[in-house]
Amino acid sequence: MFGIDDILRAVVADLHLVALIMGVVYLLAIVCAIREILNSRTPQGSIAWLLSLLLLPIPTVLLYLIFGWKLFDDYATDRMQNGRANRPLRARDLALIDGETDAKWPVQVQVSELPFLKGNEVELLVNGEATFESIFAGIEAAKEYLLVQFYIFRDDRLGRQLADLLIAKARAGVAVYLLYDDVGSTWTPKRYWRELAEAGVKVSSFNGRHKLLRLFGPTRINYRNHRKIVVADGKHAWVGGLNVGVEYMGEDPKLGAWRDTHVKISGPASLGCALLFNEDWEWATGERLPNRPPADLETFGDKSVLVMGSGPADKLEECAIAFTDLIGRARKRLWIVSPYFVPDTDIRTALFAARLRGVDVRIMLPDNPDHLLVWLASMAHADAMVLHDIAVYRYTAGFLHQKVVLVDDEMATIGSVNFDNRSFAINFEITLWFTDAGTIAGVDDMLSKDFESCRQVGLAEVQSRHRGLYLATQAARLLSPVL
């Protein structure tokens, strides 16, 4: 019988084949090294890559293709052709730009390439039941089109309920578009997508037309679309931290209760969410959706909202820039809630500086892990915060998954962005920015209640970490750039 040993002996015996394989590996290593030199972000990271490519090319080339090779020029081109820069002009024609708020938050506006838009109503949605009740009601009320995008779709009770609603709307003549991430929805069976498509729902994965890139360009494994967006008729939009699965309803026996936050916006800002979906859809499918506001654009309230999309196609790491600026502007309080806390050097420095200014800096994290490696790295960074007199709280009433930031009485953010390098530089994300007193008061009240279900991590706890656990957290911290 011809086994693996025979194959290995045959390969080793043919030195020409070995030489060819090694030559290809070293050629790839040279290409990766040149690219790293030309696109270096930090000298330390680049030196580590270059030394690894030189000394250990065989595993390092594959790792670099997965974690180091950032290539989304095609996405950036699609975005330019869609005319994101023209969107403020369109909004100005509608007389909906909030120029005063734009002038106050210029960095966030420049990063978003969209203005703050007036005329919105905002509704905080706490946890899964309230969120999906609102989303499902919005789907049932839609008359023209639905845009549905999540990182994860499960073929479980919640996923089936969503699918049934979308199928019913598609059969009723509503245009329904569904976009999912290939990595996040890896385990979703093909029959789930097939049933939707056969009923008239237009379905695509984020890498839908990039099959060769998925095969030969492992970057698509690393760079994921983490956005959660639902838009109904260009009038209502839902954005936040929840995906489609029963665990987000608190039904996971291991994680138990699930603490998360979504937000519903009604009004002109929902068009910003639709435009981000359009960008993703065009890149995924090659199809450009009709990019028109409703004929009877409604204003549902008086609140200003900024829609910020970010991702690896940005010229700069713009998400990190926006949040670093936000941290730097805090004067009284800075409350950060995230399930994953793996900040880079710039964010850590900004947090330390805020505390030295006398800002009430609080970081709320889950007490229990869902991803062990990320949790260990997060613990290392959180312990460093405690050592610098920054208050760290661990949520104990279930698993904490919301992504919320509150600065003074000036700004609140809700979206899909975690406080880690993956969200700031690697994933495609969405954040909504709010400056109105009502939304800020609502977020204040919501987080104040959450703090009541937390325990504060004390200095004694940090200093008494078991040496084995300390070693594990510090080792995991070394992987921070890709977690």
DSSP 100-140: HHHHH-HHHHHHHTS--EEEEEEEEEEHHHHHHHHHHHHHH
Helices (H), 142-269: 157-171, 190-198, 211-216, 219-222
> Does pLDDT of 429 surpass 90?
yes
Which one from 403, 420, 436, 450 is the annotated catalytic residue? 403
Which helix (DSSP H) or strand (DSSP E) does residue 406 occupy? strand 404-407
What is d(CA 340, CA 447) in angstroms, rounded to the nearest whole number? 17
What is d(CA 268, CA 311) in angstroms, rounded to the nearest whole number? 23
User: Is 210 marked active-site?
Assistant: no
Q: Which homologous superfamily does the CATH classification assign to the domain defined by 318-482?
A: Endonuclease Chain A (3.30.870.10)
Q: Bigger pLDDT: 319 or 90? A: 319
Average pLDDT for 181-189? 92
What is d(CA 239, CA 135) in angstroms, rounded to the nearest whole number? 10
For residue 243, give the nearest of 224, 260, 255 by alpha carbon. 260
pLDDT band, residue 216 (cuts 50/70/90): very low
Which helix (DSSP H) or strand (DSSP E) does residue 75 occupy? helix 73-82
Q: Provide long-range contacts, Cβ within 8 A and 24+ apart, for 56-64.
A: 57/25, 57/26, 57/28, 57/29, 58/25, 60/29, 60/32, 61/25, 61/28, 61/29, 61/32, 62/218, 64/32, 64/36
Q: What pLDDT is attached to residue 110?
A: 93
Q: What pLDDT is attached to residue 56?
A: 77
Q: Bigger pLDDT: 373 or 351? A: 351
User: Is 403 marked active-site?
Assistant: yes
> Does pLDDT of 213 surpass 50?
no
Which helix (DSSP H) or strand (DSSP E) does residue 393 occupy? strand 391-395
Locate the domains of the chain by residue range.
4-67, 73-103+121-301, 318-482
* Single pTM value for the model: 0.88
Amino acid at 219: T
User: Is 228 marked active-site?
Assistant: yes
Which one from 228, 235, 236, 381 is the annotated catalytic residue? 228
> Does pLDDT of 483 surpass 80?
no
Which one from 118, 169, 226, 236 is the annotated catalytic residue? 226
Average pLDDT for 167-179? 97
Average pLDDT for 239-264? 96
> Does pLDDT of 44 surpass 60?
no
User: Is 164 marked active-site?
Assistant: no
Domains 73-103+121-301 and 318-482 share a fold: yes
Average pLDDT for 392-407? 97
What is d(CA 113, CA 482) in angstroms, rounded to the nearest whole number? 27
Lowest mean pLDDT among 196-210, 291-305, 335-349: 291-305
Average pLDDT for 283-298? 76
pLDDT band, residue 218 (cuts 50/70/90): very low
What is d(CA 92, CA 116) in angstroms, rounded to the nearest whole number? 11
Helices (H), 310-432: 318-329, 345-356, 372-387, 421
Average pLDDT for 288-314? 83
Q: Bigger pLDDT: 214 or 103? A: 103
Q: Bigger pLDDT: 340 or 217? A: 340
Can you read off the two tokens belonging to residue 91? 């909004």
Q: What pLDDT is attached to residue 55?
A: 77
User: Is 226 marked active-site?
Assistant: yes
- CB neighbour class for 314 (10 Å; exposed up to 12, middle 13-18, buried from 19): buried
pLDDT band, residue 371 (cuts 50/70/90): confident
User: Is 233 marked active-site?
Assistant: yes
Average pLDDT for 42-64? 73
Q: What pLDDT is attached to residue 102?
A: 96
Ramachandran angles phi, psi of 436, nearest 5°: -75, 150
- DSSP state for residue 427 in the 8-state scheme: S
Which one from 155, 182, 233, 450 is the annotated catalytic residue? 233
**Torsion angle of alpha carbons 352, 357, 362, 365, nearest 10°?**
-10
CATH code, 73-103+121-301: 3.30.870.10
Q: Using a pLDDT cut of 70, give the percent of the chain over it.
A: 83
